Structure 1
Amino acid sequence: MNVVSDSLKSGSALADDYINRYARVQDLYGADFRDEEAWTRRAEWLDASEETRIDRKALAACLRQYNKKHNDHQEVHKSLDLLERAGTLAVVGGQQSGLFTGSLLVVYKALTIVLAAREAAERLQRPVVPVFWIAGEDHDWDEVNHTHVMTPELQIAKIKMDAAPGPRGPVSQIRVTGEQWKRSLDHLANLLPDSVNKPAIMDLLHQTAESSGNLSDAFAKLLGRLFGEWGLILLDSADPELRRLEIPVFERIIRHNDELGDTYQAAAANITGKGYPLQADVTADCANLFYVYEGNRLLLHKHNGTFADRKGIVSFTKEQLELELANHPERFSNNVLTRPLMQESLLPVLCTVLGQGEISYWAITKGAFSELGLQMPILLPRMSFTFISGSVRKYMDHFGLTFQDVQHRFAEARERWLNAQADLHIEPRFEEARAAFEKLYDPLIQELGTIQSGLLPLGEKNKDKILEQIAYLERKTKQALEKRHEAALRQWDSIAASLFPSGKPQERVYNVFYYINRYGFGWIQDLMDSCTRYAAEHQIIEM
């Protein structure tokens, strides 16, 4: 592998400024991740604030139970032993539990967590463990029920698992049947090209499906298979055992709910006042908590001293809500604005690994940390990669294309190349023909209008028909040229489909098993070996 740095178009102006122009947004965040002293200060604060978090031994026991089922690796148990000891810190990041792990960015987030924990341990000379937070409490099935691979025909194929009819509850509580798994696995098997790695991939996925009753369990098992050997601890936010430990944190969120809401409102006004769009909904009456009722995850709002969902299905006073929490903690879950507070209250978070959208909405939470006596951790941007195969690199070199050309100017470059293949310069010549025709025809139409007024609109209509025929001939000429250069244009298509499928970064579309099918399970190890240090800049990996 050859690794070079290059820029990738940003999906968030606020996150882009956080990463590249921190001084502009420093009042929205806790610390600059590039400031070496910030890491030491954060570690010292964690040491001094141990009592603000859930008991380590209880947390470690809960996570041992979960990882024993889904991520039973010796290195993971070593990480858990370390986490149990006072003074051990954690690098934390998470994602929703996508089908077959979802898109590549999930794998890159796990990789970043592992590398960042290793590097922080070296920098601070103390134990730092990697933790992946599976957002199993989220209920948006349509966000997690699919993934994509590229077919030999250069098509972007979607593998989707349809949900059985039922409540709109947390993904970790939505049962997946054997028939659902079979349809998705059969679809993937049909799409993946035959390779020496394919049988092992399909065996792994079938074994995972057979032992998983929902997407979150399967996600955990696959992530454990890919990263367990590096000691990556897994945590499912919907784990009932974990929820019991979280009761004191939910109590604080409920009791300080009005004050937390005020901090969110103030932060939102500050962010929009700087000209940035909000990446999460902030409304004055939102309690920023969910309650699961008859399988449905309902967002609670506040009105006249009560907590209720918008439809009025459930309604509680503050005292009733606290009692319900004590009796049924599994019915409660966080939204995007209270989840950072829960994470901070559970784990000694040295830094949290975030994508750009997450960096943007975390800016809303800074004041909320202070309200609960906590502190915003260091926000570390997720590492980002684009893989370029040897054949695609050859095509790019042949056509004189850079990564930035493909990212920003691909359609224009392709059109320019195609026109250059013909002795007849198609677009300029047809433009000349149109201009010459209009120059001769427009005065004629005007003269005809002096003979009879009805001839003027007739002439205009006739002119439009002739221009349509010229455009038709231009299209047919381009099609003929494309037919003549079909093989070369397929190479252009291969470049686009490989690097920016449907105009999106590769890492946001394709599934990791598409690449493992091509390069083997050692592909992730090779990536780890090639990127031994954390880098905020986008990395181009040339195979």
Structure 2
Amino acid sequence: MPTDCISYQNSGYFSKLIVDYLDEKPALKTLYNRFPTITNFKNQIHEKEKNYPIANRTILVDALEKQYQGFEISNATKENIKLLADTKTFTVTTGHQLNLFTGPLYFLYKIVSTLNLCQELEKTYPEYNFVPVYWMATEDHDFEEINYFNYKNVKINWHTNSAGPVGRLATNGLETVLDTFSSELGISDNATYLKNLFEKSYLQHDNLAAATRYLANELFGKKGLVILDGDDVCLKKLFVPYVKEEIVNKTSFETVNKTNANLNGYGIQVNPREINLFYIEDELRERIIFEDNSYKINNTNLAFTKEELLTVLDQNPEKFSPNVILRPLYEEVILPNLCYIGGGGEIAYWLQLKSNFEANNITFPILLVRNSVLLATEKQIQKADKLALTWLDLFKNQQTLFNKKTQELSQFTLDFSEQKETIRKQFEKLNTIATQTDKSFSGAVKAQEIKQIKGLENLEKRLLKAERKKYANQLDRIIVLQNELFPNQGLQERHTNFAEFYEEYGPILLQKIESQLKPLEQNFTIITL
């Protein structure tokens, strides 16, 4: 099968904003600090070096060591945590929700992109250390987005009540989920590994944050991955000055709105609120709202004066949680970070935030679109070869692919564009004659042109329909194959869970992903299993 180069720009799966960012369009230059090239990391290192307090390193290391208490971790991860105390050490970070059993495949691709970029940086800049960080989105509240995963044709759900930050959510009820998952798995060694991994992750840990840490550590700990939970009182203390700025001056509301106003022609991914903070407790996560000269906690009876709220902040910083607008700033305050790796949607909202970083005097990181991957079996590739399909074909919209292959299979020309153009030219001449004799004829001429064009279009559709019936067998096989590779006519990586492939291929799955992903390349990676 031809190994087409499917760029992100030509894949059809990225927004105009991300396509223009990847193309380095001049209109977007003010929205980011440096474009992700290996040479640009040199100046990014120097800038972050000057703008990250040494004292923060000690606090970060202490927080991580406490978070990892009770977990078995690899020597590589231990070493990376210690290295964070060194002023020559920097991080590359990705973040992800606490999806049940990793959720869709792109969880893996985010982390592998992060691991592989650190390796590439180490080769290029050996005088520095680079630590891969997975930021767990423990303070999110969108439980319905994370409480399931798709295994083959089954959606495996976790049904429970969730009110506060998801990381604090107890893992009650996951025994039933394991039973459902186990009933779908086979009896192979790989299936047994997956059952045990789920059980050790979720049934032997009290909350979702601990369960996710265990799971990610099992999958990637040997590679030195450092897993960070931002829901940490010591780390929140570092962010107190920026929370005060938000409460008193509403800086992010002003700066991000100014950026949004200049994003002409692009969709806005996120809109700032007047105060971009939540007030959180174990069973509570509600917005802080400024109303009637008072700071109120939405959907509660809690209300504070400015002075009272600032006192609570000083005494209990863990009660304040940044929303999507401020969380990137929080990450960059507490980490010696050079680069954030995320999906297209994430990078789109990061591109709205640079002005807020500048207002807070925090270095804006390099933004890198994570690796995207399509996993295909040898059998699927053989099918594609027999059907004369390229990867460019398979990435097409299904109706477009259907029509294209019908035209290729047909012995006739099914596109009447040439004939329609001939008719248009003929009627241009007729219209010229009509206007020179009697202008009232122009309407009749135009009506006749429309009628003839429409007639050709109807013939085109009927011929296409007839040819589809004639080649139904081949066309059905094409659509079946595309549906296998693009579930629900969308990207496999946004739908399918890794367990579906791990059961069949075991550790080779992760080995192939780790060996083939190149973070700084802007192409879909096709991996053959």
TM-score range, shorter chain: 0.7 to 0.9
CA-CA distance at 1:130 after TM superposition: 0.6
User: What letter corresponds to residue 214 of structure 1 in structure 2?
Assistant: N
* Residues 1:217 and 1:333: Cα distance change in structure 2 (over 3 Å): same
Normalising to structure 1: TM-score of the pair? Answer: 0.80
Give the secondary-structure state (helix, strand or coil) at the position aligned to 2:214. helix
* Letter of the structure 1 residue corresponding to residue 252 of structure 2: L
> Percent of pairs identical after alignment?
27
Match of 2:279 among 273, 291, 302: 291
Corresponding residue to 1:397 among 372, 382, 385: 385
Answering whether residue 182 of structure 2 is matched by residue 185 of structure 1, we say no
Question: Residue 142 of structure 1 is aligned with which of 132, 144, 151?
Answer: 144
Tell me the amino acid that sits aligned with residue 333 of structure 2: S
Instruction: Determine the structure 2 residue equivalent to 1:122.
Output: 123
Instruction: Please report how far the alpha carbon of residue 480 of structure 1 lies from its aligned counterpart in structure 2 after TM superposition.
Output: 12
Residues 143 and 525 of structure 1, relative CA distance in 2, 3 Å threshold: same
Farther off after superposition, 94-103 or 409-418: 409-418
CA RMSD of aligned residues (A): 3.1
CA contact (8 A) 1:3 1:542 kept: no
1:237 partnered with 2:240: no
Q: 1:420 to 1:33 in 2, by over 3 A?
A: closer
**Cα separation, partners in 2 of 1:250 and 1:542, compared to 1, 3 Å:** same
SS of the equivalent of 2:395 reads: helix
Cα distance change of structure 1 residues 43 and 412 upon mapping to structure 2, 3 Å threshold: closer
The alpha carbon displacement at 1:406 in A equals 2.0
- 1:235 and 1:417 map into 2 onto residues whose CA distance is 49
Distance in 2 between residues matched to 1:420 and 1:376, nearest whole Å: 50
Distance of 1:127 and 1:217 partners within structure 2: 27
Instruction: State the SS of the aligned residue for 2:43.
Output: helix
Equivalent residues, number: 477
1-side partners of 2:480 and 2:379: how far apart? 9
SS in 1 for 2:276: strand
Q: 1:45 aligns with which of 38, 44, 47?
A: 47
Q: Shift in Å at residue 239 of structure 1?
A: 3.6
Aligned partner (choices 167, 170, 176) of residue 165 of structure 2: 170
Other-structure match for 1:93: 94
Report how far residue 294 of structure 1 moved. 6.8
Cα separation, partners in 2 of 1:360 and 1:148, compared to 1, 3 Å:
same
Residue in structure 1 matched with residue 367 of structure 2 by the alignment: 379
Q: Distance in 2 between matches of 1:339 and 1:381?
A: 18
Q: Does the 8 Å CA contact 1:3/1:539 hold for their aligned counterparts?
A: no
- Offset, 1:300: 1.6
- 1:540: Cα distance to partner? 1.2
Contact (CA 8 Å) 1:388, 1:541: kept in 2 or not?
Answer: yes
Instruction: Tell me which residue corresponds to 2:270.
Output: 280
Residues 183-240 of structure 1: CA deviation (Å, up to 9, x unaligned): 2122222333554411111112112222222333222211111111110100112244
Q: Structure 1 residues 28, 497: closer, same or farther in 2, change over 3 A?
A: same
Aligned partners of 1:380 and 1:71: how far apart in 2? 31
The whole-number CA distance in structure 2 between the counterparts of 1:407 and 1:508 is 15
What letter corresponds to residue 501 of structure 1 in structure 2?
P
Q: 2:259 maps to which residue?
A: 267
Q: Deviations over 1:366-405 (max 9, x none)?
A: 1111111112111111111111111111111111122222
Q: Is the 8 A contact 1:268 1:282 kept in 2?
A: no
**1:282-431 pair list within 5 angstroms:** 282-283=272-273, 286-292=274-280, 295-311=283-299, 313-411=301-399, 413-414=401-402
Equivalent residue number for residue 200 of structure 2:
207
Q: Is the 8 A contact 1:265 1:282 kept in 2?
A: yes
**Contact 1:98/1:146 (8 A) holds in 2:** yes
Task: Give, as a single letter, the amino acid of the residue that structure 2 aligns with 1:160.
Answer: N
Task: Identify the range of structure 1 (413-422 vs 292-301) with the bigger mean alpha-carbon deviation.
Answer: 413-422
Q: 1:479 to 1:159 in 2, by over 3 A?
A: farther
Q: Residues 332-373 of structure 1, C-alpha deviation per residue, up to 9 Å, x if partnerless? A: 111111111111110111111121111111122111111111
Partner residue in 2 for 1:19: 22
Contact kept? 2:138, 2:230, Cα under 8 Å:
yes
**Corresponding residue to 2:489 among 474, 498, 503:** 503
CA distance in 2, matches of 1:416, 1:229: 47
Cα 1:412–1:183 change in 2 (3 A) is: same
Q: CA contact under 8 A between 1:149 and 1:192: conserved in structure 2?
A: no
Structure 1 residue 241: Cα displacement: 4.9
State how far apart, in whole Å, the 2-side matches of 1:282 and 1:251 are.
17
Are the aligned partners of 1:290 and 1:297 in contact in 2 as well (CA < 8 Å)? yes
In the aligned structure 2, how far is the partner of 1:489 from the partner of 1:56?
Answer: 59
Counterpart for residue 157 of structure 1: 154
- Deviating above 6 A after TM superposition, structure 1's stretches of 4 or more consecutive aligned residues are 415-423, 477-482
Write the distance in 2 (CA, Å) between the matches of 1:70 and 1:360. Answer: 35
SS state at 1:374 partner: coil
Instruction: Report Cα offsets for 1:430-474 as digits up to 9, x if no partner.
Output: xxxxxxxxxxxxxxxxxxxxxxxxxxxxxxxxxxxxxxxxxxxxx
Summarize the Cα distance change of 1:480–1:403 in structure 2 as closer, same or farther, 3 Å threshold: closer
CA deviation after TM superposition for structure 1 residue 412, in Å: 5.2
1:541 matched to 2:527? The reply is yes
Letter of the 1:77 partner, please give it. K
Please give the per-residue CA displacement for 1:466-514, whole angstroms capped at 9, x wherever unaligned: xxxxxxxxx9x999997xx5xx777545523332111110110111111
SS of 2:159's partner is coil
Does the aligned pair in 2 maintain the 1:267–1:363 contact within 8 Å?
Answer: no
**Alignment check: 8 A CA contact 1:67 1:233 kept:** no
Shift of 1:264: 1.4
Match of 1:466 in 2: none
Give the Cα separation in 2 of the matches to 1:352 and 1:422. 49
- Residue 61 of structure 1 pairs with residue 62 of structure 2: yes
Deviation larger for 23-32 or 100-109:
23-32
Task: State the SS of the aligned residue for 1:497.
Answer: helix
What is the TM-score normalised by the length of structure 2? 0.82
Question: Can you list the C-alpha shifts for 1:103-141, whole angstroms capped at 9, x where unaligned?
Answer: 111110000111111112222221111111000000010
Change (3 A) 1:480 1:12: closer
Alpha-carbon spacing, 1:184–1:415, altered in 2? closer, same or farther (3 Å) = farther
Please identify, of 314-323 and 63-72, the stretch whose mean Cα deviation from structure 2 is larger: 63-72
Q: Which segments of 5 or more consecutive residues in structure 1 lack a partner in the other structure?
A: 151-155, 424-474
Residue 261 of structure 1: how far off its partner (Å): 1.9
